[in-house]
């Protein structure tokens, strides 16, 4: 036990550092099921209404692709369907990033050495990071379960949904802990972990929509939420799957950690060139060099998701063909093909959230370079603040537009192949992707505004992005008023290809983005740096 | 040619802390100027104002004849800066970073680059994340020294360097100075400043408390006199111009101002002098006098130590 000495104190320390973040994550994810369930109760007051809603969404492949299938025509079943997958995605991201932040990131900057030099066991820092994250997930599970019980939902279902959230988080705690051992850089570790999250989401998406590959949902930790069947005759044995992944991950991480030196990764850093390439001579070239890995990783992710969305879409009309009534309802929404188009439009909205996350991440590089005092070395040369700022802003603005083009292209190609229209679909889907860009730029510009005027609080950009996402995702279900919905920039983006192209809202969003960006730039030009 | 750096009455506040409180600093063109002060005295803040990263709240500053804030970009082509806390981009190699900085500054000397890599024994193919603190410091030092600039702004440039490399650094600075370059060396390593600088400015709580040539400062503050006497000395207490008097039986040490030397010696010879030494104060003693530290003349033995506990926070305000 000597190797674990001090773990308790370190767990307390992680809680101290993360108290605000943990409170937000536990609060938002934990309360979400109860909130959604109570608004479903309001929207569907009778059993018949619930049943009808469940049937409508069950036959809809678009929903199946994004959220999975409804397992039971009850309030609990609808709730588990509506938020199970999204919450699983969030706990996965939260857990992996938290573990990496308190292991590899600490080691990379050398703080890990400081902790290890004290009277703590060799394995204590890893154990503490893991334990704190597991406990936070347990809290999410507990709050989610209690919230549903308070609403009078059936106990087994409430426990199962809470467990599903917490155990998904546990599985990705293990996965994050392994990723943290592999590389000697925290950025690379995060990329690996987020790649696994993406693959897990994709596997579930395929498994839930494409006949014959249902097994794909079974190999995905994110798919297990639905496999556990909360409120639909729970398959309790399924909890063994995430528990097994958690144990395997933690065991592997501990074994890898024991075999490597502090600060080193399983994959060693290789030497690089002794001379800079001819092109590395401007701040823009440096910004590209620093961010190109991020751009590439996101481009791959966006291309894959775009291709899957385009590939699933053509099959939708067949599925709905059986029900005349359903066809009527959907036709009233916008004529033949509206179902497919609605799915494509909704998917573009989701891809746009991903694009916006990239744009914010790339923009916040300005702040992280400043805080790490790397900016001052650049600005002590003949590079002006304006040029330095533009170099990273360009990656954010142009990079996010490029990512949307990539997503639109990939979706257009697979969609064209699937429905026999060929390359004709490419233009329309690239267009549907590109109309999202002004809204994305607005969120990127908010980040620039914060970096310019409230540098200490530039991480609020993530809050704005998350708020926008939640309003888009749950606003209508939670019965939020139009005034609240309008706070999301994506509310104002024309839903191509369902709706027609409206230029005015796009122009207004673009103008808003420009004003925010110029104001933010001004702040960065006049304020103290560092 | 005017002075390279002039600041007058420079003020900078961060919230309620007054990091600079009317700082006057003048660095002549062509000199190596020591900028002395312990952690938190305001050295880094001053440099960051001179670089146009911070805007002063009061007072004036001029750098190479220009305004450090509004002419920043143009001025930066004529200077090189070495920060005290070096964070490099983990994925770039040392060689790439040296080249990048040279290109961004607009001037670098290929021959010198190769020579300095050799002299500082730095492997340019290693990724920055694998460098130790000392090696990171070498990367930015080499980048600064390879550029053909008029002014070097160095903020504790040898922190993390081993003694051999520190010696190499001193040689480099002497060469640069020989080539007519101006150097502002902010440091709390007194031996380094004493070895390299002719003039120094000592800063305390954001103000310059002493500035001038080290030899003049020494002269003005008098000598340390220690004597072994035939009998216990009398009537030394209260002599005007005699400070830090210590008497232990028949031995005595004190610091004496030039004007009081004559009367002191008379009193000593009254009881009979067996042995007598007199020496100018070290820079450390000059320095500590401004910081209320233990300045007993016996401290002369600890010549050129480092000021301030090394465990104290490395960051200066800002």
Q: What is the pLDDT of residues B50-88, one digit of tens each?
A: 999 999 999 999 999 999 999 999 999 999 999 988 999
What are the pLDDT digits (tens) for B183-213? 999 998 888 898 999 999 999 999 998 899 9
Which residues have a Cβ under 8 Å from the Cβ of A232 and sit 6 or more positions away? A71, A72, A74, A77, A80, A157
Cβ contact (<8 Å) for A380 and B124? Answer: no
Q: What is the pLDDT of residue A327?
A: 55
For residue B31, the distance in angstroms to the closest alpha carbon of chain A comes to: 21
Q: Which residues of B touch A274 (CB under 8 A)?
A: 93, 95, 124-125
Residue A120 pLDDT exceeds 90: no
Q: How confident is the model at residue A37 (pLDDT cuts 50, 70, 90)?
A: very high
Distance CA A391, CA A288 (A): 8
* CA-based nearest residue to A344, from A471, A436, A439, A429: A429
In this structure, chain B runs to a length of 318
Higher-confidence residue of A290 and A263: namely A290
Top pLDDT among A23 and B217 is at: A23
Question: What is the per-residue pLDDT across A366-408, written as a single tens digit (0 to 9) for each?
Answer: 999 999 999 999 999 999 999 999 999 999 999 999 999 999 9
- Which chain A residue is nearest to residue B103, measuring alpha carbons? A281
Radius of gyration for the alpha carbons in chain B, expressed in angstroms and rounded: 23
Please state whether the peptide bond connecting residue A497 to the residue before it is cis, i.e. omega within 30 degrees of 0: yes
Top pLDDT among A349 and A507 is at A507
Q: What is the pLDDT of residue A3?
A: 86
8-state DSSP, A238: G
| pTM (predicted TM-score) | 0.84
Range list of H helices, A454-502: 460-474, 482-485
ipTM greater than 0.90 = no
- Residue A326: is its pLDDT beyond 80? no
Among A19-33, A199-213, A316-330, the range with the most confident prediction by mean pLDDT is A19-33
Please give the residue that has the higher pLDDT: either B5 or B109.
B5
Query: What's the average model confidence in pLDDT over A183-204?
Result: 91
For residues A520-527, average pLDDT = 96
Backbone angles phi, psi at B208, to 5 degrees: -80, 120
User: From CA B51, how far away is CA B70, in angstroms rounded?
Assistant: 10
Neighbours of A504 (CB within 10 A): 9
Instruction: Show the beta-strand stretches assigned E in A106-190.
Output: none
pLDDT tens-digit map of A491-512 = 888 888 878 888 999 999 999 9
Chain centroid offset of residue A329 CA = 32
Are the C-beta atoms of B142 and B173 separated by less than 8 Å?
A: no
Residues A121-146, mean pLDDT to the nearest whole number: 95
Residue range B106-137, pLDDT digits in tens? 888 899 999 999 999 999 999 998 899 999 99
Q: How confident is the model at residue B302 (pLDDT cuts 50, 70, 90)?
A: very low
Cβ within 8 Å of A, B 73-112: 73-74, 76-77, 79-81, 83, 85-93, 95-101, 103-106
* Nearest-by-Cβ selection for B96 from A280, A373, A378: A280
Between A154-168, A184-198, A329-343, B71-85, the lowest mean confidence (pLDDT) is in A329-343
When mean pLDDT is compared across A226-240, A255-269, B44-58, B154-168, the lowest value belongs to A255-269
Could you tell me the CA-to-CA distances from B169 to A231, B29, B196 in Å, in that order? Answer: 72, 21, 10
SS3 state of residue B185: strand
What value does the mean pLDDT take over residues A254-272? 84
The answer on pLDDT for A331 being more than 70 is: no
Which of A356-360, A477-481, B35-39 is the least confident region? A477-481
CB B12 within 8 A of CB B45: yes
How many residue contacts between A and B have a Cβ separation below 8 Å? Answer: 118
DSSP assignment string, A308-370 = HHHHHGGGHHHHHTT-HHHHHHHHHTTSTTHHHHHHHHHHHHHHHHHHHHHHHHHHHHHHHHH
Task: Tell me: pLDDT of B159 over 90.
Answer: no
Residue showing tokens 């139009």: A482
CA distance A355 to A405: 10
Distance from CA of B195 to the nearest CA of A (A): 27
Query: Scanning the structure block, which residue is given the tokens 């010198």?
Result: B112
Cα dist from B188 to A118, A507, B147, B181, B294, whole Å: 28, 57, 25, 22, 17
Confidence (pLDDT) at A60: 67
**Mean per-residue pLDDT for A21-35?**
93
* SS3 labels along A278-291: CCCCCHHHHHHHHH
With CB atoms and an 8 Å threshold, state whether A381 touches B74: no
Q: How many helices (H) and strands (E) does chain A have?
A: 23, 0
What is the per-residue pLDDT for A328?
A: 55
Q: Which of B20, B47, B87 to mutate to test the interface with A (most CBs of A within 10 A)?
A: B87
């Amino acid at each position: 036990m000597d190797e674990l000495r001090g773990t308790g104190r370190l767990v307390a320390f992680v809680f101290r550092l993360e108290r605000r973040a943990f409170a937000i994550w536990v609060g938002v994810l934990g309360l979400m099921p109860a909130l959604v369930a109570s608004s479903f109760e309001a929207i569907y007051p009778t059993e018949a209404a619930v049943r009808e809603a469940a049937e409508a969404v069950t036959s809809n492949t678009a929903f199946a692709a994004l959220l999975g299938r409804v397992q039971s025509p009850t309030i609990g079943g609808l709730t588990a369907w509506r938020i199970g997958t999204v919450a699983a995605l969030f706990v996965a991201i939260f857990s992996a990033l938290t573990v990496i932040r308190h292991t590899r990131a600490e080691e990379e900057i050398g703080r890990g050495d400081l902790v290890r030099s004290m009277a703590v066991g060799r394995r204590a820092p890893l154990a503490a990071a893991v334990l704190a994250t597991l406990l936070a997930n347990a809290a999410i599970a507990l709050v989610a379960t209690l919230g549903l019980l308070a609403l009078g939902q059936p106990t087994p279902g409430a426990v199962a949904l809470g467990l599903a959230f917490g155990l998904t988080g546990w599985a990705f705690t293990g996965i994050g802990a392994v990723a943290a051992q592999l590389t000697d850089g925290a950025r690379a570790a995060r990329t690996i972990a987020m790649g696994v999250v993406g693959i897990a989401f994709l596997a579930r998406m395929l498994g839930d929509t494409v006949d014959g590959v249902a097994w794909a949902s079974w190999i995905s930790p994110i798919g297990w939420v639905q496999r556990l069947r909360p409120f639909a005759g729970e398959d309790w044995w399924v909890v063994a799957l995430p528990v097994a992944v958690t144990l395997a991950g933690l065991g592997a991480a501990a074994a890898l950690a024991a075999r490597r030196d502090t600060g080193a990764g399983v994959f060693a850093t290789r030497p690089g060139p002794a001379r800079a390439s001819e092109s590395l001579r401007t701040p823009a070239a440096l910004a590209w060099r620093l961010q190109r890995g991020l751009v590439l990783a996101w481009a791959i992710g966006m291309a894959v998701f775009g291709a899957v969305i385009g590939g699933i879409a053509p099959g939708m009309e067949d599925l709905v063909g059986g029900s005349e009534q359903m066809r009527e309802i959907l036709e009233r929404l916008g004529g033949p093909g509206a179902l497919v188009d609605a799915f494509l439009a909704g998917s573009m909205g989701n891809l746009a959230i991903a694009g916006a996350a990239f744009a914010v991440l790339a923009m916040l590089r300005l702040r992280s370079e400043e805080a790490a005092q790397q900016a001052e070395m650049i600005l002590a040369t003949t590079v002006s603040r304006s040029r330095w700022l533009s170099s990273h802003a360009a990656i954010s603005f142009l990079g996010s537009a490029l990512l949307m083009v990539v997503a639109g292209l990939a979706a257009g190609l697979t969609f064209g192949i699937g429905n026999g229209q060929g390359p004709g679909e490419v233009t329309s889907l690239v267009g549907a992707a590109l109309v999202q860009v002004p809204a994305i730029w607005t969120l990127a510009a908010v980040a620039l505004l914060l970096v310019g005027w409230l540098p200490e609080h530039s991480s609020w950009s993530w809050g704005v992005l998350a708020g926008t996402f939640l309003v888009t995702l749950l606003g209508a279900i939670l019965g939020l008023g139009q005034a609240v919905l309008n706070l999301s920039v994506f509310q104002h983006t024309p839903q191509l290809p369902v709706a027609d192209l409206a230029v005015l809202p796009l122009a207004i969003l673009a103008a808003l983005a420009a004003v925010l960006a110029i104001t933010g730039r001004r702040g960065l030009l006049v304020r103290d740096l560092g | 040619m005017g002075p390279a750096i002039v600041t007058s009455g420079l003020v900078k506040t961060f919230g309620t802390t007054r990091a600079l409180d009317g700082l006057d600093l003048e660095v002549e063109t062509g000199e190596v100027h020591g900028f002395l002060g312990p952690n938190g005295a305001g050295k880094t803040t001053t440099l960051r104002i001179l670089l146009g990263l911070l805007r002063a709240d009061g007072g004036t500053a001029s750098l190479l004849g220009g305004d450090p804030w509004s002419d920043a970009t143009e001025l930066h082509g004529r200077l090189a800066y070495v920060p005290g806390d070096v964070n490099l981009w983990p994925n770039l190699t040392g060689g790439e970073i040296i080249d990048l900085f040279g290109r961004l500054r607009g001037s670098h000397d290929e021959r010198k680059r190769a020579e300095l890599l050799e002299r500082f024994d730095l492997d340019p193919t290693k990724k920055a994340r694998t460098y130790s603190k000392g090696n990171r410091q070498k990367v930015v030092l080499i980048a600064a020294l390879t550029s053909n600039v008029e002014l070097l702004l160095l903020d504790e440039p040898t922190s993390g360097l081993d003694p051999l490399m520190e010696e190499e650094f001193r040689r480099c600075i002497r060469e640069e100075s020989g080539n007519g370059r101006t150097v502002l060396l902010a440091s709390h390593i007194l031996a380094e400043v004493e070895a390299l600088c002719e003039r120094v400015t000592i800063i305390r709580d954001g103000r310059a408390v002493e500035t001038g040539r080290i030899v003049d400062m020494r002269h003005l503050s008098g000598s340390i006199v220690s004597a072994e006497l035939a009998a216990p000395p009398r009537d030394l207490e209260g002599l005007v111009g005699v400070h830090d008097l210590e008497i232990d039986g028949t031995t005595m040490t004190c610091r004496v101002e030039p004007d009081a030397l004559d009367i002191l010696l008379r009193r000593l010879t009254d009881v009979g002098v067996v042995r007598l030494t007199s020496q100018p104060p070290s820079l450390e003693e000059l320095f500590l006098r401004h910081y209320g530290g233990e300045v007993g003349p016996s401290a002369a033995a600890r010549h050129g130590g480092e000021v301030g506990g090394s465990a104290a926070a490395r960051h200066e305000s800002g």
